[in-house]
């Protein structure tokens, strides 16, 4: 399988539900990785705030994130700008994606491109 996991939940306003969505996304990525599937993780929308949170010592999902870190394709550049996460994303070493030119932005991650390449889209 080829799984394109997009994390959209907002760590600053989503509370337990946002953490639950993130945890389930990363757990799926870890399971798929163990089974030899192709996996890519993209942070988009308010989810671009997650990389900065997940690198904090003591974060409950930090170890899980580190276990699948190599599967992170990046974070949507335009979304990171809108949600004030650009500096935190860059500081974590997560690439900013500009696959799709979109008016009024510096470019965003393209989920359509992944689908066109045969990836199964999953959003959390």
The CATH classification number of 2-123 equals 3.40.1260.10
pTM for the predicted model, two decimal places? 0.95
Q: Rounded to 5 degrees, what are φ and ψ at 63?
A: -65, -40
Q: Where are the domains of the chain?
A: 2-123
5-20: pLDDT as tens digits: 999 999 999 899 999 9
Report the half-sphere exposure of 113 (CA within 13 A, side-chain side): 10
Confidence class for position 120, pLDDT limits 50, 70, 90? very high
Strands 120-123 and 96-97: unpaired
Residue 39's nearest CA partner among 50, 53, 49, 25 is 25
Give the chain's length: 124
Q: Among positive and negative, which fits the CA dihedral 122, 30, 98, 45?
A: positive
- For 57-79, what is the mean pLDDT? 97
């Amino acid at each position: 399988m080829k799984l394109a996991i997009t994390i959209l939940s907002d760590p600053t306003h989503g509370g337990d539900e946002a953490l639950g969505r993130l945890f389930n996304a990363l757990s799926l990525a870890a399971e798929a990785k163990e089974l030899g599937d192709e996996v890519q993780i993209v942070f988009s929308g308010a989810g671009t705030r997650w990389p900065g949170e997940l690198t904090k010592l003591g974060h409950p999902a930090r170890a899980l994130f580190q276990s699948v870190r190599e599967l992170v394709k990046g974070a949507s550049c335009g979304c990171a700008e809108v949600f004030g996460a650009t500096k935190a994303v860059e500081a974590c070493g997560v690439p900013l994606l500009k696959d799709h030119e979109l008016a009024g932005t510096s470019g965003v991650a393209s989920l359509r491109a992944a689908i066109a390449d045969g990836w199964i889209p999953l959003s959390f």
